[in-house]
Structure 1
Amino acid sequence: MSTGTPVAPTEKPPFSRRVFKLEHASNVGPLLHIALWMGMTAAALFVPGTSTWYLAVPLIIVLSLLNLSLTIGVMHMHTHRPLFVSKFPNRVVDILCCLPGNLTAAEMREVHVLNHHRFNDGPGDVTATTGMDKGIGAIWYWVRYGMVVKIHTVRTVFAANPAPRRRKTRHQFIFDLAVYAAVIGSVWYVAGFEKFVLFYWVPFLITQVNAGYFAWLSHAPARGFTDEASTSLNNAGNILNFLIFNQGYHSVHHRYPGIHWSQIPDKLDYMRDVNPGVIVPYWMVAQSGWRLVVPGGFLNEGYGTKWKARLESRLEAGTVRSRYLPWFAWI
């Protein structure tokens, strides 16, 4: 099974690339998340009886998690490295990932790829956590993150005398927002007010906070570390990284931002340089935000030390990848 190694020019492209235009066969995983969100949203909106509380509550929870997966996870990896090798399906993915949280591909590119990866939570990073790593400032960061992203994107793509690339991004930004408004407005009209508020707007608002929390959590708790490898928090749980396609290894992502997600296991030797305190087991959703009231509550040196010992054993044995799901790390 392929694990992300680029195809040599003399080799015949794999079936997934020749027929389905996938950049890598493993990209069926992110596409499955998109399909799940679409299917569950449709079921919640149009299947009778879903407004009953014992159905509505689990549906809202699952939809909120899928929203975050598409808005931050799939859109993130897709912007760094498109899922397809063809323009049209990539633009379709752009728009589908925009629907759950109104985050466009233009915003992810301008704010995350071009700005955040350049300045890495330091001066110049519009999403820097400076002065907002504790208390009310942290909560304010979580809440306002989406607006910061939107404002920065508008300022950059609508700046005077833009470069041709920025002009193209501007057109895509406008088009994607127009499609978003048309789709959301149409579905709202068909589904009805109550169900749409319950199963779209409630998960939407939860996603806005979760996205801000995720962006904050990726760097704020690690601000006390000065070595480059340890300036990101790493959510290293195996199940979590299965669900988010190895993207919990944030230090590796910043060191190798352009690699395919299935290649991240091959780069986990970089985690040897990461301070164990910034290697944690919990999920990057707002439910773990209670740690804000505990000094140092987001760090977990004990877990990180044990995890690094397991990593060392796996590296020596050559078994960093899951035996049954070799696209994923399993430590």
Structure 2
Amino acid sequence: MLVNRRDVHSLAYLAALPALAAWQWVHGFSLPLYAAMLFLTLGIGVIHHNHTHRRMWRNKHLNRATDLWLSLLQGHPTYVFYPAHVANHHRYRHGVKDVARTYRFGGDTNHLWGYLIHPLQAVAVLYPLFWRWLLRQYRRGSGAWRHALCQYLAVLALWGGLAWVDLEKWLLLVLLPQLHGLHWLLATNYLQHAHADGASRIDYARNFEGWVNPLLFNIGLHTAHHEHPRAHWSELTKLHPHYRDKVHPRLNAGGLLPYMFRTFLLGPFFPRWRSRPLMDPTEIR
């Protein structure tokens, strides 16, 4: 009943993360397995994002169940992608009305501190969006309100139950990996948009190629995703070449980890590797 059979890849990640946590809960901590868990938390965030744009199942109840499963694995309800991502980020594309635009916080930056602090800055401006969205759904008597409430209750029940059984294991095997995944989920906005041009029709996003895409559901092909938000993630490899030559060359950043190494670690010391803004300073506000 999958809409696209390539989402078997997604299902494997959704099963592997709790399996690795459960094995270590019973048998003890394993550094290689824990490292795999931390990587899988990145994948869960991308699946979370993808499932919002294109529902994974043909069956409504399976999609609702997947929302709850993603909420439990992510440590945060899935509904937040509707007000924060679809209605805000995709609508305004890093423009001045995008509430989590990277240049909103201390100017148009692209450096290590900006990357590290961006998740906290984003949370501060996104949570009012969440509350307003929930209040509107509640006033309308919408089923979306009840579904969002169930997601919160499910996360809190899981946390409370596991913490009661063993607080240290819950912190190590559940909460810390979830926080790691949430950091990457929010910080990815900085990687994809810092020093891009929020006023441009096409130069608003950065693209990454290499292993990040087969491992993390083509998350690096960001311009193609923005231009075709309803396209399944597996289709982005065919769409990306159409935009690769249209965006500013600096927005085709190559591999993700080499980009981060150049920009965040070498850039402060070597001007050759320093990131430079594409946006007109008069547009920044």
Shorter-chain TM-score above 0.5: yes
Over 3 Å counting, the alpha-carbon distance change for 1:170 and 1:189 in structure 2 is same
- Which of these residues, 238, 263, 266, is aligned with residue 238 of structure 2? 266
Matches within 5 A, 1:191-206: 192-206=166-180
Equivalent of residue 74 in structure 2, options 101, 108, 117: 101
Deviations 1:127-150 (A, max 9, x none): 111233426555432334345433
Offset of 1:106 from its aligned partner?
Answer: 1.1
Does the CA contact (< 8 Å) of 1:240 and 1:283 recur in 2? yes
Q: Is residue 2:207 matched to residue 1:214?
A: no
1:194-246 per-position Cα deviation (integer Å, ceiling 9, x unaligned): 222112222223223222211211111313x7542221011111x21001112
3-state secondary structure, aligned to 1:281: strand
Q: CA deviation at 1:193?
A: 1.6
Alignment partner of 1:186 out of 146, 161, 164: 161
CA drift of 1:284 comes to 7.0
Between 134-143 and 214-223, report the one with greater CA deviation. Answer: 134-143
Are 2:43 and 1:66 equivalent residues in the alignment?
A: no
Q: Which residue of 2 aligns with 1:150?
A: 127
8 Å contact kept, 2:77–2:148: yes
Distance across 2 between alignment mates of 1:103 and 1:179: 10
- Structure 1 221/44 Cα, relative in aligned 2: closer, same or farther at 3 Å? farther
Q: Partner amino acid for 1:81?
A: R
Q: How far apart are residue 90 of structure 1 and its match? A: 0.8
Task: Measure, in 2, the Cα distance between the counterparts of 1:145 and 1:179.
Answer: 24
TM-score calculated relative to the size of structure 2:
0.83
How is 1:35-50 mapped onto 2 (pairs within 5 angstroms)?
A: 35-47=15-27, 49-50=28-29
Structure 2 counterpart of 1:29 = 9
Return the index of the structure with the highest Cα Rg. 1
Q: Deviation at 1:80? A: 0.2
2:97 match: 124
1:243-254 equivalences in 2 (<5 Å): 243-254=215-226
**Cross-structure match for 2:248:** 275
- Which residue of structure 1 lines up, in the alignment, with residue 279 of structure 2? none
Secondary structure of the residue aligned to 1:245 is coil
The one of the two structures with greater contact order (alpha-carbon pairs below 8 A, sep at least 6) is: 2
Identity over aligned pairs, percent: 24
Q: Tell me: CA distance 1:205–1:287, structure 2 relative to 1, closer, same or farther (3 Å).
A: farther
Cα distance, 1:169–1:285 mapped onto 2, change above 3 Å: farther
**Displacement after TM superposition at 1:170 (Å):** 1.8
**Per-residue deviation, 1:265:** 2.3
CA-CA distance at 1:59 after TM superposition: 3.5
SS at match of 1:218: helix
TM-score (norm: length of structure 1):
0.72
What stretches of structure 2 of length at least 5 have no aligned partner?
Answer: 277-285
**Aligned CA-pair RMSD:** 2.7
The 2-side partners of 1:283 and 1:40 are apart by 26
- Structure 1 residue 257: Cα displacement: 0.6
SS class of match (2:3): coil
| 1:110 is the counterpart of 2:83 | yes
Matches of 1:282 and 1:127, distance apart in 2: 24
Structure 2: how far apart are the matches of 1:33 and 1:297? 35
Tell me if structure 2 keeps the 8 A contact 1:146–1:208: no
For 1:175, the equivalent position in structure 2 comes to 150
Other structure's SS at 2:103 match = coil
SS in 2 for 1:185: helix
**What does residue 256 of structure 1 align with?**
228
CA contact (8 A) 1:67 1:203 kept: yes
Q: Can you list the C-alpha shifts for 1:278-325, whole angstroms capped at 9, x where unaligned?
A: 1123337997573474666458xxxxxxxxxxxxxxxxxxxxxxxxxx
Task: Say which SS state the counterpart of residue 93 (structure 1) adopts.
Answer: helix
CA spacing shift, 1:219–1:94, aligned 2, 3 Å: same
Contact in 2 for aligned 1:210/1:286 (Cα 8 Å): no
Counterpart-to-counterpart distance in 1, 2:73 and 2:133: 24
Amino acid at match of 1:101: Q
> Structure 1 counterpart of 2:43, which letter?
S
Separation of aligned partners in 2, 1:212 and 1:286: 18
Structure 2 contact 253–259 (Cα < 8 Å) conserved: no
Q: SS of the residue aligned with 2:231? A: coil
Aligned equivalent of 2:202: 229
Paired with 2:94 and 2:204, the residues of 1 have a C-alpha distance of: 9
CA distance in 1, matches of 2:137, 2:49: 27
